[in-house]
A and B are shown apart, each in its own frame.
Chain A
Amino acid sequence: MSRQNPGGVKKRDAAARSAEEILKELGVEATRVEVPASEKEVQTILARASKEKLKVLPMGGGTSLGVAVLPEKVDLALDMRGMNSICELDPRNLNIVVEAGKSIKSINQELSQVERGFMLPLDPPRSQEATLGGAYAANMSGPLRHLYGLLRDQVLGVRGVNVEGSQVAFGGITVKNVSGYDLTKFLIGSAGSLCVVTQVALRILPVPEASGVCRIEFPSDSDLEGFLSELRQSVLLPSAVVARWEAGDAVKLLTVALEGHPKAVERQAREIQEMGARHGGSGRILEGRDTFLESLRLAVDPQGEIHRILALKVSVPIAQGLGAAKAVEDLAVRGSLKVDLALLAGNGVFFAYATDQSDQLLREFSKGVRETALRMGGHVLPVWGPRGALEGWGPRIDPAVGRNVVMPIKQSWDPWGVLLPVGL
C-alpha cells in the first residue's frame, strides 16, 4: 500500500488513527491511500480514477464506514481528513461552511469560542473522530436530534466532486431554498456511492443560556417505560433523552439533557426529577455546559476496544424504541454476548455495541437484530465492525426502491462504478 499527499498543505490530525489502520480493521485492502488537501486535488484524482476505471473509497475517521458497502479490495482510499478547514463562518446569519474532513468535535470546539458561543447540534457516536463528511455520508446523528432534528435538518448546502472530476454544488446558505432538486438532502446517507463530498454548509445556533443534565437510574424496564411514556405526553422540551445499559442489567441509566432560558432549565430539571421519582427512579442534577456535553458523549459512545466491537444502529417507530431495544437485549443474553445499548428515547433509534472474539456469534446476533427490527417496522445498519461480522449482510435498501429509483440514479451518476456500490 502506498500513500500520497499530493498537495501536502494540510495534514489530518496526527493523533487520529491512520486510514491504513481503519481499513485493516474493516478488512479492506487498498492499493493506495491519498490524502487530498483541496477540492482541486479531489477533482484530479477522480478524473484519473474514471479514466483508469479505478475503484475509489472515500473515507473520514472510519466511525461509520460500516454503513457503506465495502468491497474487499479497492484501488484507492481517499482519506478526506486532509480537508479540515472552516471555509466560512457567519454567526450573524447563523451558518457555517466546513470542509468534509473536519471532525465534528473540533467544529464545535471552534464554534464555542466565537463571540457569545455557537454550536452545531450534531453529536453522533465517536464525534471526536467522526468527520462531518462521514456523518453526512452515513446519515449519522446523536442524542441532540431529540430537540434539534437530524443532520438533514441542519444541512443547508453541499459541494462535492462527481466521478468525472467536476465540481458540483447544491443548496446554499439559507434555510429556505427550493431551487431545483434538493440534492443536499438526497446525498445524505448515500455512503460514498454517488459523489465525493468536499464541503458542507450548515445551520448553527447560539449556545443556550443555561445547560443541565438529569441522570436518573431506573430499577426496571417497566419503570423506565412508564417514565418515557409520561415524558412523551408532557410539554417539556428536553434536548436529549438517552437510556444506557448493558444487556442483562436490570438497572437503566437515563440521561436527560436540558437547555434554554435558566428558568426553563431549572423547572424542567425539577419536574423531570419528580417524574423520575414517581416511576421508581433516583438521580441527580448536574449543571454546566461541559458537564452537559460530556454526559451526552458518555451516554452514546462505545466503551472498550473499538476494533472488536460490532456497532449496529437500529431505527424503529418512536413508540417501539424501548421494546425493540429490550428484544435485542434478550438476543444478547440468550447468545451470551456482551452488548451495550444506547437508546435515544423519543426517537426510536438505538445503538447496540456487541463485543465478542467470534465473528460467527456477532453475525448471528446481527441477523437476529435485523429480524427484530424488521418485525417492528424498522431497519438496521452496521456502523462499524470486524469484517467477518459484517459479511453476508445482504440488501440494505428496499428492493423495489433500489430497482426503480436508486440503481437508475447510480448508473447515471457513476456508470463505471468508480465509487462504492449502493446497498442492494
Chain B
Amino acid sequence: MQRKQLVQEVVSIVGKGNVLEDKASLAVYEYDASLFQGRPDVVAFPTDTQQVAQLVKLANREKVPFLARGAGTNLSGGTAPTRGGIIIDLCRMRRILEIDTNNQTALVEPGVYNLTLQNALAPLGYYYAPDPASQKVSTLGGNVGENSGGPHCLKYGVTSNHVLGAEVVLPNGEVVWLGGAAETPGPDLMGLFVGSEGTLGIATKILVRIMRQPEHVVTILGIFQSLEEAGQTVSDIIGQGIIPATLEIMDNLVIRAVEASVKAGYPEDAEAVLIIELDGLADGMDEQAQRIEEICKANNVVSVRRAKDNTERAELWAGRRGAFGAVARLRPSYLVCDGTVPRTKLPDALRAVKEVSKKYGLPIGNVFHAGDGNLHPLILFDGRNPQELEKVHKAGTEILEAVARLGGTISGEHGIGTEKLKEMRLIFREEDLEMMRRIKKAMDPAELCNPGKLVPPPAQEAVGHA
C-alpha cells in the first residue's frame, strides 16, 4: 500500500485531527530518549480501544509495522520506529477511569502520566509504588511496556509487582483481558506482558494495585568523602536486617551538576551522597534511623542530615530526581547505561566504570539505586562528533560486559529495545533466546508489532549496532 493510501486509512479510523503525516511533525517521532532513530510513515492518536484495534488490524492487513508510544522517554530505543510504519501514540487516552480503594486498585488508560495518578491518589491516602525518575512525564502505558522501576523498588518491587491486569490489543488486533482484580488461572500472562516493550501487544486499559500511604517516613542524607564508604554503608544497613524503602547514591560529577542546576544543598566537594528512606509504622522507626546514622558514622560519613518535615524531604529528593536532567549542562549529550549487579558487587562495578571512563577519555557520572545494585553510569559526550559517538557505544558495551561478568544483568529498568540487542548474548544462551523468539513468533507471526526489538535474531542473522 502506498503511504498516501495508508494515511487515508488511518484518518478513516481516528479522524483527521488525530493524525500527523507531514515531514516536520514526523521528524519529532523519529526518536525517543535513546540514541536510535527511524522515520515513521504516519502517527495516529487513537482515543479508545476500538480505534487501537482497528489500527492494528489495518497494519496486519497491509503488512505494515506498528508501534505504541507514550511520552517517548524510553532510554533503550524501544520506541524508535526503526522499521517505519504506524506510530500509535496513546497520549490522548489519558483518563483515570476508576479508583477503588475498597479493592485497592486503580483503572487507568495508558496515556496517564505516572505522577498524575500519584496526585489523584494522594488526597485519598493512597499511592502507586513504582516511581521512576521520569514520573512527571512518563506514562503508565510506557511504564508497563518497560517494567519501570524507580527509587522505591528495593522494598516494593518494580511495575510488574503492581500491575494486576490489562486490556490488551494483541498483535493480531484481538482485544483480550490479561490478569485482573482476582488471580487468574494459567501461566502468568501479565508477568509476560509487562516489560515486553510493546512487542506482544498494546495495553489500552491498565489495572494497578494501589497502597495505603505509610504512616511515617524518615529521609536521611549522608555526605561521604568516598564512594566506597557510601557503598559499604548500604551493605551494612542491609546486613543489620534493616530494609529501607530507598538507598540512592550519586557521585561527585553528578553532585556538581545537580548543584549547578537544582541547588539541592549538596556540598560540591563531596565524593558521594547517599539518600536513605524508611517508611512504615512510626513505632520503632526513630530507633532504626538512629541505627542507620551510627552505621553511617562507622563508615566515616562527613555529615548526616534527617529531614524534619515534608518540605525538607522534598528538598533532599529534588537533587536525585533532577540528576539526569542536570548532567545535560555538562556535555551536549549523554548515554544512560543501566545494569544491575548483586549489591555486594557494586564496588567492583564502579571500578569497572572508572576504568572504562579512563580508557575512552569520556567523563562518566554515577547515579544509582544502591539498594538494588542498579547502576546508571551517565556517559557524557558530544553527539555531533561521530568518533566520540562510536567510543560511547563501545564504552557502554564494556560496562555491560563488566556487569554480566559480576553476575548481574544488562538492564535493570530501562529495557533492551534496540540498544542492547547484541548484549543480550552476554547473559542468555542461544537456547534461552530461542524460547523468547518462539513466544514472539507465536503471538506475532508476521513480526509487525514493534519489530526488531528486545530479542536479537538468531546468531546467523545477527547484525551489529545501527
Contacts and interface: CB of A to CB of B under 8 A. Distances in A.
B418 interface: no
Given A181-B196, A317-B181, A396-B186, A169 B411 contact: no
Given A176-B149, A413-B435, A408 B442 contact: yes
B192 interface: yes
Nearest to A407: B442
B283 A188 contact: no
Contact of B343 (A92, A179, A187): A92
A116 B343 contact: no
A343 interface: no
A183 B16 CA distance: 40
A208 B240 CA distance: 11
A185 B186 contact: no
Interface string B427-460: 1110111011011111100000000001100000
B409 A189 contact: no
A261 B187 contact: no
B158 A398 contact: no
A319 B340 contact: no
Contacts of A92: 235, 238-239, 343-344
A182 B369 CA distance: 21
Contacts of B287: 261, 263
A400 interface: yes
Interface string A80-119: 0000000000101111000000000000000000001000
Contact of A379 (B183, B369, B412): B183
Interface stretch (B19-27, B169-177, B248-256): B169-177
A268 to B, nearest CB: 7
A367 interface: no
Contacts of B407: 172-173
A411 B438 CA distance: 10
Nearest to B286: A263
Given A205-B243, A317-B182, A409-B439, A180 B433 contact: yes
A93 B408 contact: no
Contacts of B413: 176, 178
Given A179-B410, A181-B454, A237-B280, A316 B182 contact: yes
A348 B212 contact: no
A173 B427 CA distance: 12
Contact of A183 (B341, B435, B454): B435
Contacts of A267: 281, 283
Given A95-B342, A176-B372, A317 B103 contact: yes
Interface string B193-226: 0111000100000000000101100000000000
Contacts of A186: 187-189, 191-192, 439
B363 interface: no
A194 B188 CA distance: 12
B185 A189 contact: yes
A303 interface: no
Contacts of A262: 284
A401 B166 CA distance: 12
A180 B284 contact: no
A180 B424 contact: yes
Nearest to B76: A178
A260 interface: yes
Contacts of A266: 283
A379 B185 contact: yes
B231 interface: no
Interface residues of A, number: 86
Most interface-central of B170, B238, B284 (chain A CB within 10 A) = B284
Contact of A378 (B153, B160, B182): B182
B442 A182 contact: no
Contact of B369 (A169, A176, A408): A176
B298 to A, nearest CB: 17
Contacts of A242: none
B174 A404 contact: yes
Contacts of A316: 182
Contacts of B182: 315-317, 348, 373, 377-379
Interface stretch (A20-28, A160-168, A282-290, A353-361): A160-168
Contacts of B79: none
A153 interface: yes
Interface residues of B, number: 88
A371 interface: no
Contacts of A168: 431-432, 435
A150 B414 CA distance: 24
A397 B185 contact: yes
B318 interface: no
Given A93-B344, A176-B412, A180-B436, A187 B238 contact: no
A406 B443 CA distance: 9
A180 B153 contact: no
B108 interface: no
A260 B433 CA distance: 42
Contacts of A268: 281
Contacts of A190: 186-188
A93 B342 contact: yes
B157 A172 contact: no
B284 A409 contact: no
A320 B200 CA distance: 32
Contacts of B428: 169, 179-180
A194 B187 CA distance: 9
Contacts of B372: 174-176
B373 interface: yes
A16 interface: no
A187 B455 contact: no
A363 interface: no
Contacts of B104: 318
Nearest to A316: B182
A152 interface: yes
B52 to A, nearest CB: 16
Given A263-B284, A264-B283, A413-B435, A379 B184 contact: yes
B93 interface: no
B78 to A, nearest CB: 10
Contacts of A404: 170, 172, 174, 176, 443
Contacts of A170: 432, 435
A300 interface: no
Interface in B74-131: 102-105
Contacts of B185: 67, 189, 379, 381, 396-397, 423
A80 to B, nearest CB: 19
B194 A182 contact: yes
Nearest to A236: B281
Contact of A177 (B212, B241, B412): B412
A361 to B, nearest CB: 24
A374 B380 CA distance: 55
A95 B161 CA distance: 18
A230 interface: no
A264 B439 CA distance: 46
Interface of B: 102-105, 146-147, 149, 153-154, 157-158, 160-161, 170, 172, 174, 176-178, 180-192, 194-196, 200, 212, 214-215, 235, 238-239, 241, 243, 280-281, 283-285, 287-288, 340-344, 369, 372-374, 407-416, 420, 424, 427-429, 431-433, 435-436, 438-443, 454-455
Closest 8 interchain pairs by CB? A185-B191, A261-B284, A176-B412, A206-B241, A408-B442, A315-B183, A378-B182, A186-B192
16 contacts: A168-B435, A169-B432, A170-B435, A174-B341, A174-B409, A175-B154, A183-B439, A185-B190, A186-B188, A260-B281, A261-B287, A319-B103, A348-B103, A398-B177, A401-B186, A402-B186
